[in-house]
Amino acid sequence: MNANHPSVLKFKESSETRPQGRISLKELKEIALSCGADDAGVVSIHRSELREELPFIQGAMPSTKSVLCIVKRMAQAPIKTPARSLANHEFHAATKEIGEVGRDIVERLADYGITGLNTSAGFPMEMQEFPGRTWIVSHKLVAEAAGMGKMGVHRNVIHPKFGNFILLNSILLDCEVTEESAPIDYNPCLECMLCVSVCPVGAISKDGHFDAVACLNHNYREFMGGFIDWVDTLTESKNKREYQDRVTDQETASMWQSLSTGPNYKSAYCMAVCPAGDDIIGRFLSNKPQFVQDTVKPLQRKVENVYVVAGSDAEDTVLKRFPNKIVRQIASGVRPSSIQSLLRAMPLAFQRGKAKGLRLELSIQFTGEEQIETTIRIKEQQIEILEGLSPASDLSLTVDSKSWLGFLAGRESLPLMVLRRKLSFKGDLRLLAKFGRCFPS
């Protein structure tokens, strides 16, 4: 390198006036608010709450030392109305806005000699990881650590003042901040269970269990797995008539709308009815029956398509609790691309309603491309994925990993796999059907 290069000389001369890459919490918050955030907090990446996020944060920007969480309020009325086109308009507008707020903050921080990486509020995400973790940083975990609220029964973060009518974004910073934000010392969630009562697919349970796959299948019908399933349906249909038997014109037009204007959610009812937060709670506390009448009932009574996988807990919920809604059976479109991702996804796909009274242990030795030994235990409507092979299992399989993924995707059959020596077993193979009922897809 030429030590007398003009750029090198200029850099050396500026050592006195150059910004030092330091900032206080107060300054950082002021910048965030002046750029349009409604609230903000900052935490070090070494905070215990972010332990599991650390590799992903450092993967995106290795020099990260702290993370700034920004909050953007959303308008309540469009989210509460049964007209989902208006809710979607609000979600898209607020997502765009919070992304731009993040960009502006990053630009301002450059004046302090600080590098910031504005992560994505929603999409785009790292789709090569699908159906695994596609997001870079979990905004909800950063928000909780940075004192921006707590997750309620419905798993959305509830801000103490704005309630759950907020979107979140995280900005990775290459500087330490003189002082950190602290978590709030109570949960704004009132445990009123209105979110439980309104979710059309029963994704939210009183005991805190969240059926993410049920939400994904219905709410995200026109994104990700839902889109894959639509493409499968389109390509599998022999002709126009068969396609029209499976997909209504309204559904095709809705898919066009999602592709052209941004993906449209089908629900978000849990967010619509949540009365928590200082700015929201008044209307609920002053007249609860009226609040339910105005906010909850119109969503429960709405006649609409609800997308569920056949044999899922979600299907049972719609049939039992929402006879006015129309059950549309779909496939999840989620096909694990490796045994590792399959094992990670199993607890998410597990339908505890279908596991009632079931006590089963299955051990599988995967061979070939992915050599993994695992035992899957279903007991008391819970699932456990253990390392290694248990000798006490009800059924033991030895199976070629690639063939097993092919079987799950509907490309391979069990009898042929046995004939071709891709699968051998000890125990009653019929138990697989009982096991499979807990994972409808």
Nearest distance, CB of residue 226 and ligand B12, angstroms: 10
Q: Which option in ligand SF4, ligand B12, none does residue 202 bind, with CB closer than 5 to 8 A by kind?
A: none
Q: What's the order of all strands across the beta sheet hosting 66-73?
A: 39-44, 66-73, 166-173, 116-118
Site string for ligand B12, 111-130 (x = CB under 6 A): ----------xx--------
Q: Does 91 help bind ligand B12 (rule: CB under 6 A)?
A: yes
Token pair 């919920």: residue: 317
Backbone φ/ψ region at 71: left (φ over 0), alpha (ψ -120 to 50), beta: beta
Q: Which of ligand B12, ligand SF4, none does residue 152 bind (CB under 5 to 8 Å by kind)?
A: ligand SF4
Best CA proximity match to 122, nearest among 152, 102, 149: 102
List of residues 6+ apart from 34 with CB closer than 8 A: none
Please answer whether residues 63 and 28 qualify as being in contact, where contact means their C-beta atoms are separated by less than 8 angstroms. Answer: no
Two structure tokens written together for 321 = 């609790």
- Residue 273: contacted member of ligand SF4, ligand B12, none (CB under 5 to 8 Å, by partner type): ligand SF4
Site for ligand SF4 (CB under 6 A): which residue of 101, 192, 224, 405? 192
**Number of residues lying near ligand B12 (CB under 6 A):** 32
Q: Alpha-carbon distance 270 to 89, whole Å? A: 17
The Cα 99–Cα 102 span in angstroms is 5
199 binds ligand SF4 (CB under 6 A): no
Q: Which residue, 144, 133, 146, is CA-closest to 173?
A: 146
Q: Which does 192 bind (CB under 5 to 8 A by kind): ligand SF4, ligand B12, none?
A: ligand SF4
**Listed ranges 146-154, 218-226, 230-238, 291-299: which one lies at the site for ligand SF4 (CB under 6 A):** 146-154
- How far is the C-alpha of 10 from the C-alpha of 6, rounded, in Å? 6
Q: Which residues does residue 319 pair with via DSSP β-bridges, in sequence order?
A: none
| Interface pick for ligand SF4 out of 129, 191, 369, 380 (rule CB under 6 A) | 191
Pick 29 or 150: Cβ nearer ligand B12: 150
Give, in degrees to the nearest 5, the angle at Cα 217 between 215 and 223.
105
- How crowded is the C-beta side of 396, counted as CA atoms within 13 Å? 9
Q: Which of residues 230-289 bind ligand B12 (CB under 6 A)?
A: 265, 267-268, 270-271
CA–CA distance, 201 with 319 (Å, rounded to integer): 10
Q: Check: CB of residue 117 under 8 Å from CB of residue 126.
A: no
The single residue among 18, 96, 133, 359 that binds ligand B12, judged by CB under 6 A, is: 133
194 binds ligand SF4 (CB under 6 A): yes
Looking only at residues 322 through 361 of this chain, which bind ligand B12 when binding is defined by CB under 6 A?
348
Residue 264 interacts with which of ligand B12, ligand SF4, none, CB < 5 to 8 Å by class: none
Q: Candidates 15-23, 24-32, 60-68, 137-145: pick the segment binding ligand B12 (CB under 6 A).
A: 137-145
Q: For residue 362, what are the CA distances in angstroms to 95, 433, 439?
A: 44, 12, 14
Q: Which of residues 262-291 bind ligand SF4 (CB under 6 A)?
A: 273-274, 276
> In the complex, which residue's CB is closest to ligand SF4?
152
**Residue among 279, 274, 254 nearest 265 (CA):** 254
Considering only 116, 131, 147, 152, the residue that binds ligand SF4 (CB under 6 A) is: 152
Is the peptide bond prior to 347 cis by the omega test (within 30 degrees of 0)? no
Smallest distance, ligand SF4 to C-beta of residue 269, A: 10
Whole-number Å distance between alpha carbons of 50 and 66: 11
Please, which of residues 187-216 interact with ligand B12 by CB under 6 A? 210, 212, 215-216
- The answer to whether the CB of 36 falls within 8 A of the CB of 9 is no
Q: Rule CB under 6 A: is residue 149 a binding residue for ligand SF4?
A: no
Where in 380-439 is the site for ligand SF4 (CB under 6 A)? none
Identify which range of 115-123, 193-201, 385-393, 425-433 contacts ligand SF4 by CB under 6 A: 193-201
Total residues interacting with ligand SF4, rule: CB under 6 A: 13
Q: Which residue, 274, 2, 295, is CA-closest to 150?
A: 274
At closest approach, how far in Å is the CB of 308 from ligand SF4? 22
Nearest-CA neighbor of 106 among 146, 52, 49, 67? 67
Q: Output the smallest distance, CB 246 to ligand SF4, in A.
A: 35
Give the interface with ligand B12 as residue ranges (CB under 6 A).
91, 121-122, 131, 133, 135, 137-141, 154-157, 164, 166-169, 210, 212, 215-216, 219-220, 265, 267-268, 270-271, 348
Give the interface with ligand SF4 as residue ranges (CB under 6 A).
152-154, 189-195, 273-274, 276
